[in-house]
Amino acid sequence: MNKIHPPFLALANISIFYFSNFLISSFEFFGQTVLAAIVGLEGVIIIILSIRLFKKGNTTVNPFKLDETSSLITEGVYRFTRNPMYLGLSSIQLGAAIYFGSYISLILIPVFIVYITKKQIYFEEISLEKKFGQNFLKYSDRVRRWI
């Protein structure tokens, strides 16, 4: 299981996107800043909506306290993806990558997604299946892990 909070991993990637511009060339295109803002803001909104649903359901947002999960959230953004917080973090990274024009992001964002899937989501889903049984299995059958 992952031992580093996912937002810190995303922040590390964004830092690399920024600093890589001093070492390698970056890309630029018309509307780059606007697109970056839209994509990044979309990620922030998804995360905020997700956290609100967790608070409403009186369950933990902390991915390292799986035993404190008290309810299975399947409404709102969770109707479209089982992992909207990680999707939001990925969108924020994509927004930053577009803003900085980072070529290295083409490698690091997919690495983040694979790492989070294998080292975090996998263990979360095992815990949810143990805790919620058929309810989680039915949910995971109808809603995709990412999008």
What's the pLDDT at 3?
84
pLDDT in tens, the chain (147 residues): 878 999 999 999 999 999 998 999 999 999 999 999 999 999 999 999 999 999 999 999 999 899 999 999 999 999 999 999 999 999 999 999 999 999 999 999 999 999 999 999 999 999 999 999 999 999 999 999 998
Distance CA 24, CA 3 (A): 31
Please say whether the beta carbons of 23 and 78 come within 8 A.
no
Q: Domains of the chain: which residue ranges? A: 30-142
What's the pLDDT at 11?
98
CA atoms within 13 A on the CB side of 19: 6
* Residue owning tokens 């810190």: 8
CA atoms within 13 A on the CB side of 54: 18
Burial 50-66 (b: 16+ CB within 10 A, else e): beebbeebebeeebeeb
Paired tokens of 93: 């990274």
Please say whether the beta carbons of 108 and 99 come within 8 A.
no
